[in-house]
Structure formats: C-alpha cells, structure tokens
Chains A and B, each alone.
With several copies, the nearest count.
Chain A
Amino acid sequence: MSSDLITLAIPAKPEYVMIARLSSAAVATRIGFDVDQIEDIKMAVAEAIIMIINQLTRPEKLSISFILDPKVIGIEIFGEGDWESSNISTHDLGQAQLGKYILSSMMDSVKFDLDNGTIRAIFMHKDLGV
C-alpha cells in the first residue's frame, strides 16, 4: 500500500503558523498518535516553520507535506521567497539553536536541506511506536 499524502500551503506570515500547527495536530490525531506525541508534532512543525521563515529575507509561501503510513508520519516543510546566506544575525542563530534543540528532541529524525549554508527545507519523521 502506498503512502497517503496531505499537503498544506500557507502564506509565510506569523499569523498563519498557528494554522499549520492545528492542522498537524489533526493529521497526527488521525494516524493515532497519543496526546503527548501530538503536542510534539505540533511543536516540531511550528519550529521548523519558524526556522525557515527566519532565513528568508522576503518570505512568501510555506508548503507542508504530510506523508502518512500506518505507523509513521513524515513531514516535509519547504519555504519559498528570497534569502541570502549572509543575513543571519547572531540573534537569529541563538533563536535557530533553540529551534534545533526542540526539533531534534520532538521528532525521531530531522534532516535539513541546506543551500549555501541556509536551510531551504526540513524533513522529519516520527514513529507511532506501538
């Protein structure tokens, strides 16, 4: 059986991150994750989005794909907009570090798709673990 795919695209604006978070929770609920795991997935999606938004100088659109298998959720987050590898301040680096700690402890794997040192996409997955 092939995976089911759910895709969500939002404008890359802070006010819409909450929608990605709640949609992720709905997807995770459907797969059968428990309350704590759903919290983790919501948080991870939000942090991944924040990381990508912070790297774009002119954020436009965020695409989130959920790849669903019976006991695994795969999530791919991709940002569109302008970015430069040079514009990241130490402030943002501290911020990104917080995000990385959170991501790596909430998900079972996290991969960054780097382009010239800048994160363009983030892939992550979490097992249902039952």
Chain B
Amino acid sequence: MILDERFDSDTKMWYISLDGEIDIYNAPEFKEKLHQLIQQNPGDFILDCDSLNYIDSTGLGVLISALRRVKEYNGEIKIRNLKPYIYKIFVITGLDKIFTIEVGNREQ
C-alpha cells in the first residue's frame, strides 16, 4: 500500500511511494494514513505509483477525499508513473482531470 513516505521540508512536498494493491480491504487504513500525513504537514503530494498494481473505486475514493483536504489549503496531488492499465482507470472515471497526472516519465 504505502511503501515509503518522505516529507521534504524545503519544498513542502510529501513524496509517497505506493505499492501492491489498494482495495476495499486496505482502503480504510490507506485513508487514515493519508489524512494523518496531511495533518502532520499540509503540503503538496507526489504519489509515485511505479509499484502500484491495482486500485479499485474505494482506493480512488480515498484519493478524492485526500484531494479535497489538500485543496482546502490550495495544495495539489501529483500522480506519477501510473501503469497503463491503472492510468486507464483514471481516464474512465474522469479523475485524470482533477488530479495532476504526470505521464511519460515512467522509466522501464
């Protein structure tokens, strides 16, 4: 789920690496964790999804919920290195328009 988290106090950015699966089973824990990080340091978020293999609508809901909170202080959530079939899910659901999705810098 969350493989790694690091707050850069110079740029006020959270660097989060996601991995494995985010689904109806672990989404509540993921939500709690993200909200906790937002409270701890209300900065921008970079979510590195290089090792993320699966996310369902519950996981997407958590991202939306986090985005709402981050928007409250005019922050943003950037999503990076999505695998093609996960990127497809963001497009299908229209979430590619509300998150800043960086495409094309996926090294492989």
Contacts and interface: CB of A to CB of B under 8 A. Distances in A.
Interface of A: 14-15, 17-18, 36, 39, 43, 46-47, 49-50, 53, 94-95, 98-99, 101-102, 105
A49 to B, nearest CB: 8
Contacts of B93: 98, 101-102
B97 to A, nearest CB: 13
A22 B48 CA distance: 25
Interface string B39-72: 0000000000000001011101100100000000
B92 A50 contact: no
Given A18-B25, A43-B56, 10 more contacts: A14-B23, A14-B24, A46-B56, A47-B57, A53-B24, A94-B64, A95-B58, A98-B61, A98-B93, A99-B57
Contact of B94 (A50, A95, A101): A101
Contact of A17 (B24, B60, B64): B24
Contact of A36 (B21, B60, B61, B85): B85
A98 B64 CA distance: 11
Contacts, number: 44
B64 to A, nearest CB: 8
Contacts of A36: 85
Contacts of B24: 14, 17, 46, 49-50, 53
Contacts of A18: 21, 23, 25
A95 B65 CA distance: 11
